[in-house]
């Protein structure tokens, strides 16, 4: 009986030893997946309700001075993560309302203020606003501009008379226009 117990114990030890050696080595490995999600966020900071008013004449026989009908109190901030070799644009459009006849409403974005990191976009120049979406900032890659006023791109709006012959179209009224900015994939 003692002999049988000794043989069984030896077999169990050998079997256990063989089993552990078959699966265990001096090293092993597993997979770690790093997943960076796509991000496309845009925000307007500063004054978001703007009133543009030309300076009224003070002398009979003079016209309005539109050079004072400007505003630069809005900043566009964004965060973006794109696929390799992809870019985005910021577009701007009039989404509701209409610029009164004889007037033009323009907006221009400044160079990024430098408070973020990454591949921030570049200004596209002065845009005359309409109901058609137009690029105002292009080449946005994986980046962030920083948040709040004085971060991102400063927007400057200007109201002007399209030509002296359009002066007859001016009407004493307030006109509300909604301007929409969108961070879009570059096609």
Instruction: Name the strand (E) or helix (H) holding 10.
Output: helix 2-23
Banded pLDDT at 10 (limits 50, 70, 90):
low
Please check whether residue 173 lies inside any domain of the structure: yes
Please check whether residue 161 lies inside any domain of the structure: yes
How high is the pLDDT of residue 24? 84
Q: CATH number of the domain that 177 lies in? A: 2.60.40
State yes or no: pLDDT of 8 exceeds 60: no
Instruction: Establish how many alpha carbons lie within 13 A of residue 72's alpha carbon, considering only the half-sphere containing its beta carbon.
Output: 8
Q: Is 88 exposed, middle or buried (0-12, 13-18, 19+ CB in 10 A)?
A: buried
Domain that holds residue 51: 39-185
What mean pLDDT comes out for the span 150-164? 96
State yes or no: pLDDT of 18 exceeds 90: no
Distances (CA, A) of 134 to 12, 19, 92, 111, 179: 78, 69, 5, 17, 12
Q: Is the dihedral angle over the CA atoms 143, 105, 55, 51 positive or is it negative? A: negative
Place of tokens 């117990």: 5
Contact 111, 151 (CB under 8 A): no
- Structurally, the chain folds into a number of domains equal to 1
- Residues forming a β-bridge with 42: 78
What mean pLDDT comes out for the span 124-140? 98
Please check whether residue 139 lies inside any domain of the structure: yes
The predicted-structure confidence for 58-67, as pLDDT tens digits, reads as follows: 999 999 999 9
Coil, strand or helix at 6? helix
Please check whether residue 13 lies inside any domain of the structure: no
More confident of the two residues 183 and 13: 183
Coil, strand or helix at 180? strand
Please check whether residue 47 lies inside any domain of the structure: yes
Please check whether residue 2 lies inside any domain of the structure: no
How high is the pLDDT of residue 48? 78
Please check whether residue 66 lies inside any domain of the structure: yes
Instruction: Name the strand (E) or helix (H) holding 12.
Output: helix 2-23
Please check whether residue 15 lies inside any domain of the structure: no
pTM of the full predicted structure? 0.83
- Residues forming a β-bridge with 138: 122
Q: What is the mean pLDDT of the chain?
A: 90
Closest alpha carbon to 187 in 144, 143, 133: 133
Greatest extent of the chain over all pairs of C-alpha atoms, in Å: 129
How high is the pLDDT of residue 7? 55
């Amino acid at each position: 009986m003692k002999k049988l117990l000794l043989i069984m114990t030896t077999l169990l030890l050998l079997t256990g030893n063989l089993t552990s050696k078959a699966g265990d080595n001096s090293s092993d490995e597993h997979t770690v997946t790093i997943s960076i999600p796509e991000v496309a966020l845009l925000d307007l900071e500063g004054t978001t309700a703007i009133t543009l008013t030309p300076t009224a004449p003070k002398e009979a026989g003079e016209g309005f001075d539109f050079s004072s009908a400007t505003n630069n109190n809005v900043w566009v901030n964004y965060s973006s993560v794109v696929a390799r070799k992809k870019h985005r644009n910021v577009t701007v459009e009039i989404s509701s309302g209409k610029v009164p006849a004889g007037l033009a409403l323009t907006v221009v974005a400044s160079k990024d203020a430098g408070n973020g990191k990454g591949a921030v976009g570049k200004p596209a120049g002065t845009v005359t606003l309409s109901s058609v979406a137009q690029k105002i900032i292009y080449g946005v890659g994986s980046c962030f501009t920083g948040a709040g006023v004085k971060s991102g791109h400063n927007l400057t709006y200007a109201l002007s008379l399209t030509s002296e012959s359009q002066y007859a179209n001016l009407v004493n009224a307030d006109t509300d226009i909604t301007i929409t900015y969108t961070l879009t994939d570059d096609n």
